[in-house]
């Protein structure tokens, strides 16, 4: 998430129409002559409304793939109103080969993996009985349908069929990512919430165009006949997917298309293009498009109040921000939010609703993992500081969080604001403090260690 290694595929037609010209008979249809130079709606010798002979029942030949990619590229151009400046290679690989490539894995230290475990334990998504890195590997290994690699300027489509085939929606989606790279580029982000917000624009744009593409396929007009989609597979297989992590990383795909649609309603594709120079900076902005661009997160710099051998991790980045999406995901995964509420449509282009009263007042957060000792003797904890739009919003979240501890995790109340979860993957001690619009959650292995991770407010 920190580096843009790959971009994943978890109405009025834009652009110029085909130019008027003398008819040219091809495949039983009449098409304009090929233009002397490339233009929107014409790619690699194929018009956006041209018929192509592609049959994927026995896989794709090289000629079929070239025609399929060329026409899809031309259609993506026409929908988005942007011209490809270079042809994009497309590779089709099996899921087994994709897993072997491990494009989302990186060489990280043991300290980083321990830090990462604390981040997702704080989100109450990955408990102490699991490793967050393994959970992400299982998620990406089975869920990714394709990706665009900015480093290699190449699209890779993952096929679950015995004979590799192309899904037209995935192809259109990844081609849009290549188009984004050619016109706007991609930017990295240190904080997960910022990275997810950027994805709300890039994945939202790609998913929006993919949806427009599929709407035209469904209309089955003669000028937009589509190659049939492969039959759905039984899934990627492998280890079970953590539904909390999936819900978190899926937010840009769910809310992003509606965010882009709202931008387009405001000012057409020009407004969407302009957003690449002023990208959203929090998932609050993509969950609630009216918050973009004016409502920005409050910057939080919590003071280190640890003692007796407890310290922050000695890493280049010692803190994280989970954002409104992280708060919502935690409440949903721990069933404070009704599970069915997520799948309520939140607009014409948003299939999921990531908004809830207990998370919607989010104004900023900072999560700092801590540790004491090393190796087999190491112990871990964290301090999560959350700022809210108002004292009432902070009180509502604090109440929801305490409910999760006591009712969902079975916590015992030790004293006012202090809780102990006796067993299970989140067995630990917790202190929940609220002052005005700020809530601070402190976690430690034992009640006695809470004050050493963070001395309580006086």
- Provide the 3-class DSSP secondary structure of residue 439: strand
pLDDT of residue 105: 53
pLDDT of residue 25: 41
Confidence of residue 19 (pLDDT cuts 50, 70, 90): very low
pLDDT of residue 31: 53
Q: Bridge-partner residues for 46, per DSSP?
A: 43
Contact 443, 122 (CB under 8 A): yes
CA 260 to chain centre: 15
Give the per-residue SS3 of 324-347.
Answer: HHHHHHHHHHCCCCCHHHHHCCCC
pLDDT of residue 236: 52
Contact 425, 410 (CB under 8 A): no
Whether residue 30 is predicted with pLDDT greater than 60 in this model: the reply is no
Average pLDDT, the chain: 90
What is the per-residue pLDDT across 284-338, written as a single tens digit (0 to 9) for each?
Answer: 999 999 999 999 999 999 999 999 999 999 999 999 999 999 999 999 999 999 9
Contact 228, 258 (CB under 8 A): no
- Token pair 């001690």 is found at 429
- Provide the 3-class DSSP secondary structure of residue 369: strand
What torsion do the CA atoms of 233, 234, 240, 241 make, to the nearest 10 degrees?
A: 40
pLDDT of residue 158: 87
- Token pair 């882009």 is found at 260
Whether residue 23 is predicted with pLDDT greater than 70 in this model: the reply is no
- Provide the 3-class DSSP secondary structure of residue 153: coil
What span, in angstroms and rounded, lies between the C-alpha atoms of 101 and 99?
Answer: 5
pTM of the model: 0.90
What span, in angstroms and rounded, lies between the C-alpha atoms of 31 and 208?
Answer: 28
Question: Looking at 34-38, 86-90, 346-350, which range is the least confident one?
Answer: 34-38
What is the per-residue pLDDT across 104-126, written as a single tens digit (0 to 9) for each?
Answer: 556 789 999 999 999 999 999 99
What span, in angstroms and rounded, lies between the C-alpha atoms of 214 and 217?
Answer: 5
- State what percent of residues in the chain have pLDDT above 70: 90
Of 307, 302, 245, nearest to 117 (Cα)? Answer: 245
Copy the structure tokens of residue 338: 């009704």
């Amino acid at each position: 998430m920190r580096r843009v290694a790959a971009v994943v595929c978890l109405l009025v037609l834009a652009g110029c129409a085909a130019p008027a010209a003398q008819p040219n008979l091809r495949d039983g249809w009449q098409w304009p002559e090929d233009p002397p130079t490339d233009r929107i709606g014409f790619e690699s010798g194929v018009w956006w409304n041209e018929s192509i002979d592609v049959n994927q029942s026995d896989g794709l030949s090289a000629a079929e793939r070239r025609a399929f990619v060329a026409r899809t590229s031309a259609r993506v151009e026409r929908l988005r109103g942007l011209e490809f400046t270079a042809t994009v290679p497309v590779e089709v690989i099996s899921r087994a080969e994709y897993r072997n490539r491990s494009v989302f894995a990186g060489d990280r230290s043991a300290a980083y993996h321990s830090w990462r475990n604390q981040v997702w334990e704080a989100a109450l998504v990955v408990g102490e009985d699991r490793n967050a890195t393994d959970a992400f590997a299982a998620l990406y290994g089975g869920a990714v349908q394709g990706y665009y690699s900015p480093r290699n300027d190449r699209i890779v489509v993952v096929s679950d069929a015995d004979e590799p085939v192309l899904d037209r929606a995935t192809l259109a989606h990844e081609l849009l990512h290549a188009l984004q790279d050619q016109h706007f580029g991609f930017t990295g982000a240190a904080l997960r919430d910022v990275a997810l917000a950027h994805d709300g624009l890039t994945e939202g744009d790609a998913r929006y165009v993919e949806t427009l593409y599929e709407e035209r396929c469904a209309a089955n007009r003669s000028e937009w006949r589509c190659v049939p989609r492969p039959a759905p597979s039984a899934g990627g297989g492998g280890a079970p997917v953590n539904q909390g992590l999936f819900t978190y990383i899926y937010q840009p795909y769910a809310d992003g298309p509606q965010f882009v649609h709202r931008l387009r309603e405001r000012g057409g594709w020009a407004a969407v293009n302009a957003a690449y120079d002023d990208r959203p900076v929090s998932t609050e902005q993509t969950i609630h498009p009216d918050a973009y661009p004016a409502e920005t997160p409050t910057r939080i710099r919590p003071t280190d109040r640890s003692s007796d051998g407890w310290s922050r991790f000695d890493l280049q980045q010692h803190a994280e921000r989970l954002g409104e999406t992280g708060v919502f995901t935690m409440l949903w995964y721990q069933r404070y939010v009704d599970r069915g509420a997520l799948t309520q449509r939140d607009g014409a282009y948003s299939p999921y609703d990531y908004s809830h009263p207990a998370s919607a007042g989010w104004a900023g957060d900072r999560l700092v993992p801590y540790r004491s000792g090393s190796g087999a003797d190491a112990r871990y904890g964290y301090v999560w500081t959350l700022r809210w739009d108002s004292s009432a919003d902070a009180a509502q979240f604090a109440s929801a969080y305490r409910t999760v501890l006591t009712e969902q995790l079975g916590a015992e109340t030790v004293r006012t604001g202090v809780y102990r979860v006796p067993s299970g993957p989140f067995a630990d001690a917790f202190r929940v403090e609220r002052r005005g619009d700020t809530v601070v959650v402190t976690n430690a292995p034992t009640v006695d260690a809470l004050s050493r991770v963070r001395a309580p407010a006086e």
